[in-house]
């Protein structure tokens, strides 16, 4: 049951009605039941796995908090982390390492026949596993108190708006909210609905539209010219952004309807002037998690190594985050490239400071934005490609362009879709710019007259219904 389906629309409508008909104290139970149902619509057999992870982490966190013995505390922590992490490792990475090992042995002349696991990846596994690990660490370090109600803790993990592709919620944010009784707040609910509509627009009008051309080119790059490949690469950036941020908007909007504030996962990443800033604006929940639980501990533990300790922490964090996306060399290299970029930024910071003070501010700003954007674009090409050779083939096409050949004919039957893509992407960027002028996400429009607002809402729905591309595939990040 994906977010952009009639089934989900019906589901959330029913849950919404029942939620506010129930007494406030009972509402969390409905959300828990709805979340279990939501998960089962993907694959009921994996419910056992997530239940196991929930039960073990719940009880081990309590045990960890209750004991004063430091070694026992550590034991419970490790059990909590590894009981979930091993499941993730087996389902997500076992086949990759088994096949890689086989290739390595084959290169040494040793024939090995690996036992591969032929079972799908449980939906949301990467996301909820990280949430569980983060929670276990928070309890161990005393950042959060262990949750004593199994039902509330289960809801914290299973909460359906964020279950399949995040945001990865930290315990300090969501758990306390689950204990509060949520009232019927008309403005909050309508704000959530608007956010869902906006996310849906991003997904079906932009992401799925761009993906038609992107998938065509990336699946057979040799059939397309350099210019077509380059345009596909630019489309790729906006496709991934609108797919993931669209999903996040729908998740945050759905949670808001029920009275919960989830972490914002994107904050206009394409205005970043450097990679450090970029990673504070892109997939914020993942990088917050990595920063809190990998970078900080490593940089602290290796602080005696001075700058090399920081570099080690950067490489470990970014490589790990690349690997988090999946068991493929391209994902690892994606992470490593960003680590190299951040390290270069670290060493070049005096030079950049000098440039900033020397050059005209607007020039410096926009050149920085362009460099950061294109660095991300190149790494995304590797991220998207199935193999490195495919990625290099596409990157090589950047050297084979002839701007004079640009024309709508390049897009064949995709011409109108190409023009619509441009219009919608510019509309998106314009809206984000306009919305950045206010503190509240999407609330700037409340200052407009009612007639204008209502017309805009109707127009939005008309655009989504009329121009939306309905694809049966899921959101890009749900596969991680």
- Catalog residues that contact other proteins under the rule CB under 8 A: 6, 13, 16-17, 20, 184, 186, 189-190, 193, 209, 416, 454, 457-458, 461-462, 464-472
- Spatial separation of the C-alpha atoms in residues 327 and 89, rounded to whole Å: 10
Angle at which helix 171-179 crosses helix 125-140, to 10 degrees, equals: 90
Handedness of CA 96, 98, 103, 107 (dihedral sign): positive
Residue that has been written with the tokens 């879709």 in this structure: 417
Residue 177 CB, nearest approach to other proteins (Å): 21
Given a contact cutoff of 8 angstroms between Cβ atoms, the answer to whether 278 and 338 are in contact is no
Given a contact cutoff of 8 angstroms between Cβ atoms, the answer to whether 172 and 235 are in contact is no
Residue 243 CB, nearest approach to other proteins (Å): 16
Residue 452 CB, nearest approach to other proteins (Å): 13
Residue 239 CB, nearest approach to other proteins (Å): 16
Say which residues have a Cβ less than 8 Å from residue 427's Cβ, sequence separation at least 6. none
Nearest Cα to Cα of residue 423 among 214, 240, 201, 99: 201
Is 367 or 456 the residue whose CB approaches other proteins more closely? 456
Say which residues have a Cβ less than 8 Å from residue 437's Cβ, sequence separation at least 6. 444
Residue 466 CB, nearest approach to other proteins (Å): 5
- Is residue 24 packed enough to be buried (19+ CB in 10 Å), middle (13-18) or exposed (0-12)? middle
Residue 457 CB, nearest approach to other proteins (Å): 5
Alpha-carbon dihedral angle through residues 10, 16, 19, 24, given to the nearest 10 degrees = 170
Question: Token digits for 171?
Answer: 């315990």
Is 93 or 467 the residue whose CB approaches other proteins more closely? 467
Helices of type H across 326-447: 329-358, 361-384, 388-396, 415-435
- Spatial separation of the C-alpha atoms in residues 464 and 304, rounded to whole Å: 55
Given a contact cutoff of 8 angstroms between Cβ atoms, the answer to whether 90 and 118 are in contact is no
Angle at which helix 27-43 crosses helix 150-158, to 10 degrees, equals: 50
């Amino acid at each position: 049951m994906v977010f952009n389906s009639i089934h989900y629309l019906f589901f959330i409508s029913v849950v919404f009605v029942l939620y506010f008909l129930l007494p406030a104290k009972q509402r969390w139970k409905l959300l828990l039941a709805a979340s279990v149902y939501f998960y089962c619509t993907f694959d009921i057999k994996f419910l056992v796995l997530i239940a196991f992870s929930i039960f073990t982490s719940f009880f081990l966190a309590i045990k960890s908090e209750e004991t004063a013995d430091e070694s026992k505390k550590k034991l419970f922590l490790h059990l909590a982390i590894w009981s979930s992490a091993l499941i993730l490792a087996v389902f997500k990475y076992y086949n990759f390492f088994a096949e890689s090992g086989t290739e390595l042995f084959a290169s040494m002349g040793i024939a090995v026949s690996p036992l591969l696991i032929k079972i799908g990846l449980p939906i949301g596994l990467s996301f909820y596993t990280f949430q569980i690990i983060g929670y276990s660490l928070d309890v161990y370090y005393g950042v959060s108190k262990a949750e004593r109600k199994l039902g509330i803790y289960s809801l914290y993990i299973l909460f359906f708006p964020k279950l399949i592709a995040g945001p990865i919620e930290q315990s300090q944010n969501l758990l306390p909210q689950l204990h509060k009784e949520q009232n019927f707040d008309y403005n909050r609910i309508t704000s959530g609905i608007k956010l869902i509509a906006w996310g849906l627009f991003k997904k079906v009008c932009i992401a799925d539209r761009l993906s038609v051309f992107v998938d065509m080119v990336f699946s057979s790059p040799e059939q397309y010219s350099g210019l077509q490949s380059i345009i596909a690469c630019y489309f790729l950036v906006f496709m991934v952004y609108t797919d993931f941020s669209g999903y996040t908007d729908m998740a945050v909007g759905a949670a808001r309807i029920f009275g919960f504030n989830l972490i914002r996962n994107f904050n206009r990443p394409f205005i970043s002037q450097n990679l450090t800033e970029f990673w504070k604006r892109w997939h914020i929940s993942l990088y917050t998690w990595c920063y809190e639980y990998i970078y900080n501990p490593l940089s602290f533990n290796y602080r005696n190594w001075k700058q090399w300790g920081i570099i080690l922490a950067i490489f470990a964090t970014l490589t790990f985050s690349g690997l988090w996306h999946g068991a493929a060399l391209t994902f690892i290299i994606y992470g490593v490239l960003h680590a190299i970029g951040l390290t270069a930024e670290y060493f070049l910071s005096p030079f950049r400071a000098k440039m900033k003070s020397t050059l005209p501010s607007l020039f410096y700003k926009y050149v920085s934005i362009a460099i950061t954007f294109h660095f991300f674009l190149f790494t995304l090409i590797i991220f998207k490609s199935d193999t490195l050779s495919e990625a290099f083939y596409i990157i090589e096409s950047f050297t084979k362009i002839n701007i004079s050949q640009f024309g709508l004919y390049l897009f064949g039957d995709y011409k109108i879709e190409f023009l619509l893509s441009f219009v919608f992407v510019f509309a998106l960027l314009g809206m984000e710019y306009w919305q950045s002028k206010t503190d509240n996400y999407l609330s700037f429009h409340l200052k407009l007259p009612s007639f204008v607002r209502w017309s805009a809402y109707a127009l939005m729905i008309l655009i989504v219904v009329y121009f939306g591309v309905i694809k049966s595939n899921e959101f890009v990040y749900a596969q991680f």
